[in-house]
Amino acid sequence: MISPKYFYDSLIANGTDFFAGVPDSLLKNFCAYITDNAPADKHIISANEGSATALATGYHFATGKIPMIYMQNSGEGNMINPLLSIVDSDVYSVPMMIMIGWRGEPGVHDEPQHVKQGKVTCDLLDAMKIPYSVLGADNCNKCLDKALAKAYEYIKANNAPYALVIKKGTFEEYVLKNNVSVEADMSREEAIEKIMLSAPETAAFVSTTGMASRELYELRDKHNQGHNKDFLTVGGMGHASQIALSIAMQKKDRTIYCIDGDGASIMQMGGMATIGTRNPSNMIHIVLNNGAHDSVGGQPTVGRQIDLCGIAKACGYTNVVKASTKEELDAILKDRKTFDELTFVEVLVRKGARKDLGRPKTTPVQNKQAMMEFLK
């Protein structure tokens, strides 16, 4: 295994002192070390992986140095456009290090949303003609030295990107010290339970990636309810709201809930403009804001630093409200206005989840088929 400190120090020694990206569970120990040790102007947890690529590009333009971007392999798609249309040697020829967590690695059990991405992770790099090295749990600090030497030799000779593909268990454990607590009256699961139990019988739910979908699934079991009302968006972070919008526009006789997260809503914030301008009166967009990427190590988002309600108003949502307490959420869920107008609800919740939180027992295809049958 590789020490996060050793990795960070090695990058600094090679002139890489700027980091941007979206946290990943396989990289969480290294991401935590960066968060604790990189100066604030040298580390940005970006809205999405394409933004991280652009941030790194700007840093190189300003300093001439080699930056690093990091992400889960699910984010490769988000970075393809700026990599090929800005960074590529046929365009601006920007050198950078790319670190990718290899979820769904072939032969390693993982959740269904990661399987296909795992199969094509290296193929996508090959298609973009980006060379790479693979690091795993059997690698040591000396192995890292060799990989970095090869990477920097290529980057400097070609003024082009090089990738490090990181397998599960590559990094030694490092616990985030700069782990700011997020105060709130409710846990995310408590908020979801209130929302779920107050919903009309014919209402449908679209829930975002990570813990929220897992909690919704288990809450249905807890209350002896079926799962056919819920579409669990286990992949495609940030896109749940657009799935919900499209369903709402086609099923005007039903209330459609989108259970979103602050990190996910920020990742694809442009979707809020589409929702606001389409203005479906039967859609309730709920953002559970804990100021963190909770499913991948608790790294901070800017969710508690920006005015999400103000953004929703500017995008055209008709009814915009905020709940900081259980009583405020109860009042919103009983208000007729919530169900008669396009509604945006920001709910402040705590970080963290139950340690015994399970995962859906149905396949994504079974989930899709059940939801489609319910919507008929």
- CA gap 26, 7 in Å, rounded: 15
Q: How far is CA 100 from CA 30, 33, 135, in A?
A: 12, 16, 10
Write down the pLDDT at residue 57. 98
CB 65 within 8 A of CB 94: no
Query: Using one digit for the tens of pLDDT, what is the confidence trace for 42-63?
Result: 999 999 999 999 999 999 999 9
Spatial contact of 303 and 350, defined as CB atoms under 8 Å apart? no
- Mean pLDDT confidence for 292-296: 84
Phi (first) and psi of residue 183, to 5 degrees: -80, 140
Q: How far apart are CA 338 and CA 360, in angstroms?
A: 29
Q: What pLDDT shows up at residue 100?
A: 98
Asked if residues 162 and 130 have their Cβ atoms less than 8 Å apart, the reply is: yes
Q: Tokens representing 245?
A: 């919008």
Q: What is the DSSP letter of 324?
A: S
The pLDDT-based confidence of 321 (bands split at 50, 70, 90) is very high
Angstrom distance (rounded) from CA 9 to CA 141: 11
What are the backbone angles phi and psi of residue 257, rounded to the nearest 5°? -100, 135
**pLDDT tens readout for residues 166-196:** 999 999 999 888 777 778 999 999 999 999 9
Instruction: Please report the pLDDT score of residue 295 as a whole number.
Output: 78
Give me the pLDDT at residue 139, please.
82
Best CA proximity match to 68, nearest among 99, 102, 93, 35: 99
pLDDT digits (tens, 9 = 90+) for 198-250: 999 999 999 999 899 999 999 999 999 999 999 999 999 999 999 999 999 99
pLDDT of residue 183: 81
Contact 211, 355 (CB under 8 A): no
The 10 Å Cβ neighbour count of residue 363 is: 10
- pLDDT above 80 (res 330): yes
For residue range 70-107, what is the model confidence (pLDDT) as tens digits?
999 999 999 999 999 999 999 999 999 999 999 999 99
pTM: 0.92
What is d(CA 183, CA 349) in angstroms, rounded to the nearest whole number? Answer: 7
Q: Closest Cα partner for 170 from 201, 140, 207, 202? A: 140
pLDDT at 138 over 90: no
